[in-house]
Structure 1
Amino acid sequence: MTIEHTSEFIFGGSILALLCVFASILSRRLGAPILLVFLVLGMLAGENGPGGIQFDDFNLAFLLGSLALAIIIFDGGLGARKETFRVSLGPALSLATVGVVITAGLTGIAIHWILDLHWYEALLIGAIVGSTDAAAVFGLLRFAGLELKARTSATLEIESGTNDPMAIFLTVTLVEILESSQSNFGFSILSALLQQMGLGLLLGAAGGWLVAKLLKGLNLPASLYPLFALAGGLSVFGLTNVIGGSGFLAIYIVGVIVGNSPLPHSNDIHRFHDGMAWLSQIGMFLMLGLLITPSHLPPIILPAIAIALVMIFVARPLAVVVSLLPFHFPWREQVFISWCGLRGAVPIILALFPSLAGMEHTKIFFELVFFVVLISLILQGWTIAPIARWLRIEVPPLAVEPEHLQVAIPTEQEQTLHIYDVIPECQAEGMQTLRLPLSEGAQLIGVIRRGVVIKSKKSLELSIGDRVMLLASDSTKDFGALFSPSLKTNTTGSMAFFGEFVISPEAALFDLAQVYGFSLPAAHEQKTAEEYINSKFHAKPVIGDRVTLEKVELVVRETKDGRITSVGLKLIM
C-alpha cells in the first residue's frame, strides 16, 4: 500500500466513523436499531454501493471481529453489577446454555427442511445463529428512555455476556465433525464442552482477580489505568483461547470482577471502555457490511426470511419457556425475553468459521446468516420499545447514583472516598448532615463549602454547591441517589404505576381487606403484604412486581438486600 493509499484509507475510515456517529442521532429519532444503521453504511461503502470498496479478506475480518467482540463483552462485564446476580444468574445461565442449544437445534431442523441440506450442515447454521446480541437490545432501550424491571434487564444482561461461548463451542464442534471422518463424537463433544467452560471460568476468575489486584497496587499515571484494564482483559482472552478454553467467557468474568472492585480512577475506566465498545461496534459492523455483496442476496431472500421467522416465532420462544421453567418467570417477562432474541455481530463472525476451515459453500452460509441477522435487526430491533410498553414491564425512572469523584483508599477494608455535588432540586438539598442515611461502616468525612472543608460535629444544612465527602467500603447507591436530579416531573407517572397509596410491607392482608373491601382466602389471612408478594414471586421480587386482589393491586415500590421495603397500593376502577 502506497503512502497516498494509506492516507486515503485513513480519510475514508474516519469519514465512515463520523457518519456512524451522526447516524446514531437519526436512528434515535426514528427508533431504528443503531447496529442496523452501521451495517447499512458498510454495505453502501462496499463494492455494490457508492463507496465501491472491495473487501473480501475473511481472515482479517475474523481477527478484527474477534478483537472487537472481546472488547464489547469486556465492557458488558464491567457494567454488570453484582446485585443483579442474586435475581437472575440462574435464569441467565439456563438461557445461555440450554436456551442456545434448543434455539440452534430447532432452527437447524427448519433449515434442513427449507434448504434440504445435510443434517450437520443445517445444524451448523442453526448453531451460528443461536446466540443473541442483548447489547443491541439495551442500546435501543436506552435510546427509547425505557427502564425495565430488574429481573428482566439483569437476565438479558447476563445472558448476553455468557451465551456467546456456547454458540462458539457448538459451531466449532460441528465444523470439526463435518471436516472429520470420525463417527463417534459423543465423548469428545462432552470433553470439549467441559474444557471450554472450565478453562474459561477458571482463567477468567484468576485473571480478573490478578488484574483488579494490580490496578489497586500499581502507581500509574491516571490515563494508563483504563489501558491496563483493557490489556489485562485481552491478555486473559488470548491466553484462554490458546490453551483451548472459552476466551469470551473468560474476558466477561474478568470484566465482572474488575467492574465490581473498588479501583482508583474507576469512573475513567468505565467511560474509556464504553467509548471503546462503541468504536468496536462501529468498526465491526462497517467491516461486516463491506464483506457483503448485495447483488448476491436475492436468491437467498425467501429461504432466509422463512428461517428467520421460525427462529423468531418458534425456536427462541420455546427455548425461553423451557429454560425459564424452573424459575417461574411471569409470562409477560417471558414474552419480552423471547422477543429480545436479537441477532447481531456474533452470528456473522461465527459464519466465518466454515470459510476459515476450508469448507465448501461457505459464501452461501455467510450470506444466508447475514440476511437472517438483517431481518432480526429490522423486525425485532425496530419493535422492542413498543413491545416493552405493551407488555407493561417497564418501570418509572428511579433516582440513580450520579457521576461523582471516587478515590480508592488502599486499606485492608478496601474503602473508597466518594465526593458528591449538591445540585439544584436533588433530594440532599436542604437536608441536615446528621440525617443523611449512612450504610453500616460508612463515615461522613466532611462538607466542602466555598473551597473550605467543614468538619463540624453539629448538624449542617446542605446547600447548592456543597460537596459531601463519604468514606465507605460497600455500595453507596442509595446514598448517592440523594444527589441525583429530582424526578418531580415523573410524579404523575409514578402514581399511575405504583398506585395512589404507600403501605408498609408489614401491613396485614386481613386489615387491608377490611379497609378496601376485597375478599381474601383463609390461607392468606395471616400473611403480611411482603409475605404474600414473596409467595407469588418465589421470594425474589423486584421493583414493579404486582399482585391483584380483586379491587386493589399491591406493587413493589422499593427493595433492599432482597427484602421489600415499600409497597404501593393501587385502586382498580
Structure 2
Amino acid sequence: MAVSETASMSPVMAFALVGALGVGSQWLAWKLRLPAIVLMLSAGLIVGPGLGVFDPARDIGPLVAPMIAIAVAIILFEGGLTLNFRSLQDAAKGVQRLVLIGAPLGWLLSAAALHWVVGLSWASSTVFGGIMIVTGPTVIAPLLRQARLKRRPAALLQWEAIVNDPVGALAAVLALEVVLVLQTTETRGEAFWDLSIGIGFAVALGLAGGVGMAWAFRRGKVPEYMKVPVLFVVLLAVFAVSDFVLHESGLLAVTIMGLWIANAGLPSFEELRRFKEHATVLLVSGVFILLAAGTSLGTLEMLGWRSALFIVVVILAVRPATVLISLAFSNIPWKERILVAFTGPRGVVLVAVAGLFGERLVAQGVDDAALIGPLAFALVAGTVVLHGFTLTPIARVLGVTASDTPGVLIVGGAPWSVAFGQLLEKLELPVLIADPNHAHLRAARRAGLKSYFGDVLSEAAEHSLDFVRYQKVIAATDNDAYNTLVCTGMAHDFGRESVFQPVPVRQETARHALPATLGGRILRGELSYFEANRRIHNGWHFRATGLTEEFTLDDWLDKNPEALPMAEYDGKAGLRLLDQDAQLKAGPGDQLIALYPPDPPEESAQRH
C-alpha cells in the first residue's frame, strides 16, 4: 500500500512541517545563495507527491482552502503596499513604458501563448495571462545583487517587478471576476450587472478600509503597539465582507486598500511595511509548500511537451516581444534592452495566486484550469533556474555590469573615510562617500572619490543611488545618533552583519549606551569618530598587505604590533570588514587592510 494511503499526521504536526520546510528552505537558499523558490518547490514536491509523507487535504483537511485564500489576500495586500505612485513618477520613462505598455501587452501575448501553445480555454488563458505579468520582485532582487548590473538596467528590472506586482494581481483578479460571473449567470446582462456591483463594492470597501486606517493612524486613534494588529483585523474584515458580496472580489478590495495606505504618507508606514514583509515571508513559504505538496502525480503528468514548448515560447518570444515593443523609440541602449528582454524570472506570488485561481475555476466547471497550478510551478522553476545561471554571464558579454565585486558605501566625508575609500579604490572596489553636509565632501571630491550630497535614508537617495553596487555600509559621521540611525535603517536591506559604525563616544556609560537592537557592528579597534580622524591627522595611514606562504598572518602580527587590522580582502569572496569581536582569518593570497602608525622618517622616505 502506498505511503500516502497509510501514513498521516496530526494537523499540528502538519503545520509544524509546513513552517519548517518553508522557512528552512528560505534560510538554506540564503546560505547557499540560491533562489529560495526552487528549494521550496523541491521540498514541497518531495514530501508531497514524491514520498507521500504530507498531503494537505488529508492531514489538514477543509481548512487548507480558506488558509490559502487568506494568505493570498495578505500577499496581494502586500503587493498594494509596495506601489507608491510617487516612486512610479520618479522612475525612468523606461519603467513607465514597461508598466503602461508592457503590462497589457504581456497579458495579451501570454494569454495567446497559453491558448494556442498549451491549448487552454480562453477563460483559463485570460486569468493565468494576467498573473504572468508579475516578474517576481522577491526573485529579481537577489539576482541583481549577484549580477552587479549598471544602474539603468538594474532599475528597469527592479521597478518593473515592484510596480507590476499589484498590477498583475489586479489584472488576474478582474479576469477571474469576469469568468466566474459569466459561469454562474444565465444572461450577459445579468453577468455585467453582477460584475459591476461586485467590483464597485470591492473598490469602495477597499478605499473605505484604506482611508479609515490612514485617518485613524494619522489622528492617533490607534496606539502604536496596536497598529499592526488593528490593520491585520481590518484587512481580514474587508476581505471577508467583499468576498461575501461577490466571490473572490475580496482580493481586489485588499489590493485597493494596500494601494491607498501606501500612498497616504503615514509616519508609521515603515513599521507597517516591516510587518507585511515579515508576514509575506511566512505566508509565501506556507502557501508554496501547501500548493506543491498538494499537487498530485497525475496532475504533474499532464505537463507534456506542450508545457515545455510554452515555457520556451514565454522566454524566447513573449517576454522579448513585450519588452522590445514597450521600449521601442526610447533612449535606452540596445544592449540594455536585450538584457531586460531576456530576463523575466517569475516568483512566489505567481504560484500562490495561480494555484488558488486555478482551483476556483475548476470548481466552476472550467476543467482545463487544473493545469494552471502545474504550469505556474514549471514556469517559475524554469525561469528562475535559467536566469539565475545566465543573467551574470549575459550581462558581462553585453558589457552592462557595474562591477565584478561589491563595494562599500561610506556615510560621512571625514579624513578617515576618505583615506579608507582611497585604499579601497586602489583595490578596484566601488566606493561611494555620502554626506548631508556639502562641505564635508570637499576632501572626497579632491581625492577623486565618487560622492553623494544628501541623506542616504531619503527617498531621493533610494531612487538616485545604485545601492546594488555596494555590499557593506560604514556610518562614520560626527553624529553618533545619526550613525546609529543609518545602520538601523540600512540593516534591513544590507543585513545586520554588513553595517558598521565607529564606537560611540559615550557608549561606556549606561545613561548614553544604546540598546543592542539599534545601530550596527562596531569597527575593529573601537576608535571613535574623533579618535580615528585624530590619528589620520597625526600621520596614521591605511595600507593593504598581501599575505603569502612565506609571509603569513602570524609574521604580519609580529612585525606590526601597533597596526589596527580593519578588513580582509579576498579577490573572489570580496571584502570582509572586521568588527570588534572578529577573528583574523586572512591567508595566503589575501590582502590585509590595516591602519598603520606613522612611519619612521627613514622608512617614510624609502616608501615615498
Range into which the TM-score falls when normalised by the shorter chain: 0.5 to 0.7
Shift in alpha-carbon separation, 1:39–1:393, aligned structure 2, 3 A: same
Residue 349 of structure 1 is matched in structure 2 by: 356
For 1:267, the equivalent position in structure 2 comes to 270
Q: 1:465 aligns with which of 475, 480, 495?
A: 480
Residues 180-329 of structure 1 mapped to structure 2, 5 A cutoff: 203-244=205-246, 247-294=250-297, 296-325=299-328
**CA distance 1:43–1:432, change in 2 (3 Å):** same
Q: Note the C-alpha offset of 1:292.
A: 0.8
User: Contact 2:76–2:255 (CA<8 Å) still a contact in 1?
Assistant: yes
Contact 2:435 2:454 in 1 (8 A): no
RMSD: 4.7
**1:163 aligned to 2:165?**
no
Cα distance, 1:191 vs structure 2? 7.7
Shift of 1:75: 2.5
Q: Which has the higher contact order (CA 8 A, sep 6+)?
A: 1
Matching of residues 403-482 of structure 1 within 5 Å: 427-428=434-435, 463=478, 465-467=480-482
The aligned residue for residue 510 of structure 2 is: none
CA distance in 2, matches of 1:29, 1:16: 20
Aligned to 2:344: 340
User: What is the total number of aligned residue pairs between the two structures?
Assistant: 425
Cα distance, 1:144 vs. partner?
Answer: 3.0
2:104 corresponds, among 97, 104, 124, to 97
Which TM-score applies when normalising by structure 1? 0.60
Deviates most, 54-63 or 205-214: 54-63
Give 1:400 shift: 8.5
Structure 1 position 67 matched with structure 2 position 70: yes
**Using the alignment, how far apart are the partners of 2:127 and 2:222 within structure 1?**
47
User: Is contact 2:106-2:318 (8 Å) kept?
Assistant: no
Q: CA deviation at 1:159?
A: 0.8
Is the alpha carbon distance of 1:7 and 1:170 closer, same or farther for their aligned partners in structure 2, counting shifts above 3 Å? closer
Name the CA shift for 1:468/1:154 in 2 (closer, same or farther; >3 Å): same
**Structure 1 residue 162, shift from structure 2 partner:** 1.0
- Tell me the CA shift for residue 286 of structure 1: 0.8
Equivalent residues of 1:236, 1:247 under 8 A apart:
yes
Work out whether residues 117 and 306 of structure 2, in 8 Å CA contact, stay in contact via their aligned partners in 1.
Answer: no
Q: 1:277 to 1:382 in 2, by over 3 A?
A: farther
Conserved in 2, the CA contact under 8 Å of 1:131 and 1:346?
Answer: no
Distance 1:243 1:399 in 2: 53
Shift of 1:284: 0.5
Residues 473-494 of structure 1: per-residue CA shift (max 9 Å, x gap): xxx99xxxxxx869xxxxxxxx
1:366 and 1:151 mapped to 2: Cα distance? Answer: 28
Whether 1:110 aligns to 2:125 is no
Give, in whole Å, the separation in 2 of the partners of 1:93 and 1:74. Answer: 21
- 1:514: which partner in 2? none
Query: Residue 259 and residue 322 in structure 1: after superposition, are their counterparts in 2 closer, same or farther (change >3 A)?
Result: same
Out of 115, 138, 141, which is 2:140 matched to? 138
Q: CA, structure 1 residues 7+125, in 2 after alignment: closer, same or farther (shift >3 Å)? A: closer
Q: With structure 2 as the length reference, what TM-score do the two structures score?
A: 0.57
Report the CA distance shift for 1:256/1:90 in structure 2 as closer, same or farther (over 3 A): farther
Equivalent residue letter for 2:112:
G
Q: Return the match for 1:33 from 32, 35, 38.
A: 35
What does the per-residue CA deviation read over 1:30-53, in whole Å, with 9 as the maximum and x for residues that have no partner? 543212222221222225326243
Mean Cα deviation higher: 89-98 or 461-470:
461-470
CA contact (8 A) 1:128 1:350 kept: no
Measure the CA separation in 2 of the matches of 1:389 and 1:8: 51
Cα-to-partner distance string for 1:516-562 (whole Å, 9 max, x where unaligned): xxxxxxxxxxxxxxxxxxxxxxxxxxxxxxxxxxxxxxxxxxxxxxx
Report if the CA contact (8 A) 2:178-2:195 is conserved. Answer: no
Distance 1:60 1:209 in 2: 32
1:375 aligns with 2:382: yes
What secondary structure, in the 3-state scheme, does the structure 2 residue paired with 1:96 have?
Answer: helix
Paired letter, 2:304 = I
**Which whole-Å CA distance do the structure 2 matches of 1:229 and 1:300 have between them?**
41
Distance 1:240 1:131, change over 3 A: farther
Gaps of 5+ in 2: 1-6, 418-432, 443-451, 459-475, 491-498, 502-608
1:393–1:188: structure 2 CA closer, same or farther, 3 Å change rule? farther
Map residues 118-129 of structure 1 onto 2, 5 A cutoff. 119-120=121-122, 123=125, 127=129
How far, CA to CA, are the matches of 1:202 and 1:295 in structure 2? 42
> CA offsets per residue over residues 232-259 of structure 1, 9 Å max, x none?
3444444554555954454344334434
Deviation, 1:193, is: 8.1
CA displacement 1:258-284 (0-9 Å, x = unmatched):
345454544332222211010111111
Residues 365, 462 of structure 1: CA spacing in aligned structure 2 closer, same or farther, 3 A cutoff? closer
Alpha-carbon separation, structure 2, partners of 1:429 and 1:365: 51
Compute the displacement of 1:10 (Å): 2.5
CA distance in 1, matches of 2:192, 2:333: 33
Deviation at 1:68, TM superposition (A): 1.9
Q: Residue 68 of structure 1 contacts residue 284 of structure 1 at CA under 8 Å; is this kept in 2? A: yes
The structure with more radius of gyration? 2
Q: Give the residue type in structure 2 aligned to 1:110.
A: V
Q: Deviations over 1:424-466 (max 9, x none)?
A: 9575599989x99789xx9xxxxxxxxxxxxxxxxxx963634
Q: Which blocks of at least 5 consecutive residues in structure 1 are unaligned? A: 403-419, 443-460, 471-475, 478-483, 487-573
CA distance in 2, matches of 1:308, 1:283: 25
Report the secondary structure of 1:339's partner residue: coil
**Partner AA of 2:322 in structure 1:** A
Determine the C-alpha separation between the residues in 1 that align with 2:388 and 2:62: 29
Is 361-370 or 344-353 further displaced after alignment?
361-370
Distance change in 2, residues 1:142/1:392 (3 Å): same
Indicate the SS of the match to 2:22: helix
Asked if the contact 1:33–1:136 (Cα under 8 Å) also holds between the matched residues in 2, the reply is no
Task: Report which stretch shifted further, 383-392 or 188-197.
Answer: 188-197
Distance 2:301 2:271 in 1: 47
Q: How far apart, in 2, do the equivalents of 1:427 and 1:279 lie?
A: 35
Distance in 1, Cα, partners of 2:312 & 2:382: 9
Partner SS for 1:297: helix
CA contact (8 A) 1:429 1:462 kept: no
**Cα displacement (A) at 1:225:** 1.4
Aligned counterparts of 2:339 and 2:61: Cα–Cα separation in 1: 37
